[in-house]
Amino acid sequence: MQNIVLFGPPGAGKGTQSKMLVEKRNLVHLSTGDLLRSEKEAGTELGLKAKILMDQGKLVPDEVVIGMIRNKLETNTNANGFIFDGFPRTEKQAEALDELLKELNTSISGMFALEVEDEELITRLLERGKDSGRADDQNREVIENRLKVYENETAILRSYYRKQEKFNSINGFGALEEVFNRLNSAIG
């Protein structure tokens, strides 16, 4: 199995690059952001609780996202591998993911971090907010809060994966195809 963590701050292009990777490599795309938004749209209790946090740019509790990922891993046992997008976002999530994959006799093949400067991220997210309908993309303060949460809680995962010799840095600035080529050659 090829299990890839696509890492990076909000707006780095993880969702777009994941879709392109899925087409090329026949992997299952697991985005906790997408899963949470589906729950929200379905109006489930979980979705409604998550919405309050998401709209403020805060993280949803670890147990919630870990549970969603566990479900998806259990229902996709025949997959060639997975692309994890927006997960893990905390050290606790990273540890849980390692455990879950171990139960399936597999592991993370590599972590690929898309690097984009903050000013560019803010521009991209505000632009996306014009037609994504996402409340968290439409407010500069919420965007800045998401970037702060990334710095404070998520960026530390670079060293988590560096210790496992799985960390790869990818320049995320440039045309979609250009970034995709960089990513593909790094994945190998």
Which position among 51, 72, 146, 182 bears the catalytic label?
146
Q: Which of 79, 89, 81 is nearest to 35 (CA)?
A: 89
Catalytic member of 25, 40, 58, 134: 134
Q: What is the DSSP string of 48-113?
A: HHHHHHHHTTPPPPHHHHHHHHHHHHHH-TT-SEEEEES---SHHHHHHHHHHHHHTT----EEEE
- Cβ atoms within 10 Å, residue 118: 14
User: Using alpha carbons only, what angle is made at residue 154 by residues 14 and 74, rounded to the nearest 5 degrees?
Assistant: 65
- Tell me the one-letter amino acid at 25: R
The reply to whether 25 belongs to the active site is no
Nearer to ligand ADP, 1 or 64 (CB): 64
- Name residues whose C-beta falls within 8 Å of residue 145's C-beta, 6 or more positions apart in sequence: 56, 57, 58
Rg (CA), the chain: 16
- Is 124 among the residues known to form the active site? no
At residue 137, the 3 state secondary structure works out as helix
Task: Tell me which residues touch ligand ADP (CB under 6 A).
Answer: 10-11, 32-33, 36, 53-54, 57-60, 65, 86-87, 89, 93, 136, 146
Select 33 or 110, whichever has its Cβ closest to ligand ADP. Answer: 33
Q: How far is the CB of 10 from ligand ADP (least distance, A)?
A: 3
Tell me the closest approach of the beta carbon of residue 184 to ligand ADP, in angstroms.
21
Nearer to ligand ADP by C-beta: 35 or 79?
Answer: 35
The single residue of 51, 72, 89, 182 carrying the catalytic annotation is 89
**Residue of 25, 128, 158, 166 with catalytic role:** 128
Shortest approach of ligand ADP to residue 145 CB, angstroms?
9
Rounded to a whole number of angstroms, the minimum distance from the CB of residue 17 to ligand ADP is 12
Q: Which of 14, 51, 72, 182 is an active site residue?
A: 14
* Residue 158 a catalytic site member: no
Q: Minimum CB separation from ligand ADP for residue 180, in Å? A: 18
Which residue's Cβ lies closest to ligand ADP? Answer: 33
DSSP state of 153: I
Question: What positions carry a catalytic annotation?
Answer: 14, 89, 128, 134, 146
